[in-house]
Amino acid sequence: MSKQSNAIFRDGVTLRCIACNYTTSAEPWLFLCPKCGNLMEVVMPSKNNFSWDVARKRRFGVWRYRELLPLSNDVEPITMGEGGTPLISVNRIANRGVFVKFEGANPTGSFKDRGMTVGITIAKSLGVEGVIVASTGNTAASAAAYAARAGLQCVVVLPRGGVARGKLAQALLHGAKIVEVDGVFDEALEEVFTEVVLNGKRDLYPLNSYNPWRLEGQKTLAFEIVDELEEPPDYVFVPVGNAGNISAIWKGFKELYNYGLINRLPRMIGVQAEGAAPLVRTWALKSRSLMAIEKPVTIASAIRIGKPVNWLKALKAVEESRGTFVSVSDEEIVKSMKDLAMYEGIGVEPASAASLAGYRKALELGIVDRDSVTVLVATGHALKDPDTISKYFSRGE
Ligand code: AN7
């Protein structure tokens, strides 16, 4: 290792188990609790000198919130100006007060860049040869690009035939080594997890979302929403696959609240596709173990995931925020994708349209009301998945 790992992190940052609360020092390679085997989360110091006024003089994006991130100030980030995405009002398809946070505007076209700038910065400081991820596509595209920028190798493990064409093209373009697995994403993740986490291989740093450090970058999505609206919204709708993002966004809001930077919290609504809805099932049955889906099916390939690794984090996020999980059909996803595109000019990939579809479902079910301030997180760009567009959209006459 080229550097003492504790020099990477801000003083006072620790890791805590999400199940048994076992707490230990900040450590880049600790992903599972040594006591009970559950996932770890990053705990920020109890005091923070972050100020909106100081931060707002910096470029809008992930690193604007530097004091709220766990990396020490003298670590030089590997960055492409990720984050700083537009919050777009969608008054033609919804009431005033409903906004789309368009994550397709990130450097590689998805929210994954927020986490990758932090994850790759850590990998670079560790002096490893490269990084490895299992992915439904966007994590692979993002890891490949940021690894290239950092001069690191990148290995991506993908479900064969399960990755949208634009994402696969990005992984190729940035020179990642592509390994395909026969099976769904869950099997690809299992493979990486066994190799790196359980067998303790340390030449490649794993950047899937069981890595709590990567999720720290993704919590900035909450900071940006508050930064722009100047207060928290009532509801945040997030498409859920491996469930890292909804957990990270909630963590961001909670930290702002704990530091006294906001005085109330939004409700988090997780949206899954009907054929890939393990968390909707687990939530509905009030189960304390995951109701996994063996063969997840949906056109939204990004969230075609049956065993979300962050399931417990996400359940806790939704429970603490007094939110809920809803499922939407592929037809509802396509309809929402069309409406965003044709009435608002916002081009998203299918998984991202799940937020709007979920919002419509929640209105129908009386979970939200039309006049609430609501943010729909549109996680990835339309160009990620050109084949779905060709299949469902006809040429205008
Ligand atoms: C567009 O790239 O899991 O619930 O391997 O690409 O944090 O998993 C992608 C996930 C939503 C779900 N929207 O986020 C991967 C991967 C888009 C995505 C999600 C993904 P999580």
Each residue of 356-366: pLDDT tens digit? 999 999 999 99
Report d(CA 162, CA 351) in Å as an integer.
13
* pLDDT at residue 6 in the model: 55
Q: How far is the CA of 349 from the centre of ligand 1 (A)?
A: 11
Q: How far is the CA of 270 from the centre of ligand 1 (A)?
A: 12
Could you tell which of 136, 186, 333 is best to mutate to test the pocket of ligand 1, judged by most ligand atoms within 8 Å of the CB?
Answer: 136
| Domain at 87-109+214-392: CATH architecture | 3-Layer(aba) Sandwich (3.40)
Could you tell which of 238, 379, 381, 385 is best to mutate to test the pocket of ligand 1, judged by most ligand atoms within 8 Å of the CB?
Answer: 379
Question: What are 360's two structure tokens?
Answer: 């419509």
CA dihedral sign, ordered 351, 321, 283, 362: negative
pLDDT tens digit string along 209-230? 999 999 999 999 999 999 999 9
Task: Decide if pLDDT at 88 tops 70.
Answer: yes
Structure confidence at residue 2 as a pLDDT band (50, 70, 90): very low
Could you tell which of 102, 242, 340 is best to mutate to test the pocket of ligand 1, judged by most ligand atoms within 8 Å of the CB?
Answer: 242
- Indicate which atom in ligand 1 lies nearest the CA of residue 248: 7
- Indicate which atom in ligand 1 lies nearest the CA of residue 139: 2
Which of 232, 393, 202 is CA-nearest to residue 323?
Answer: 232
> How many of the other CB atoms lie within 10 Å of CB of 173?
13
Structure confidence at residue 397 as a pLDDT band (50, 70, 90): low
* pLDDT at residue 283 in the model: 98
pLDDT tens digit string along 368-392? 999 999 999 999 999 999 999 999 9
Q: Are 112 and 80 in contact (CB under 8 A)?
A: no
Task: Decide if pLDDT at 316 tops 50.
Answer: yes
The domain limits of the chain are: 87-109+214-392
Q: Indicate which residue's Cα is closest to atom 10 of ligand 1.
A: 302
Task: Decide if pLDDT at 395 tops 90.
Answer: no
> How many of the other CB atoms lie within 10 Å of CB of 294?
9
Ligand 1 binding residues, C-beta < 6 A:
110, 135-139, 209, 239-245, 302-303, 349, 351-352, 379-380
Residue by residue, DSSP assigns 66-124 as GGGSSB-TTSPP--S------EEE-TTTS-TTEEEEEGGGSTTSBTHHHHHHHHHHHHH
pLDDT tens digit string along 248-258? 999 999 999 99
Lowest mean pLDDT across 73-82, 99-108, 197-206: 197-206
Residues making up the chain, counted from first to last:
397
The chain-wide mean pLDDT, for the chain, equals 96
Name the percent of the chain lying above pLDDT 90.
Answer: 95
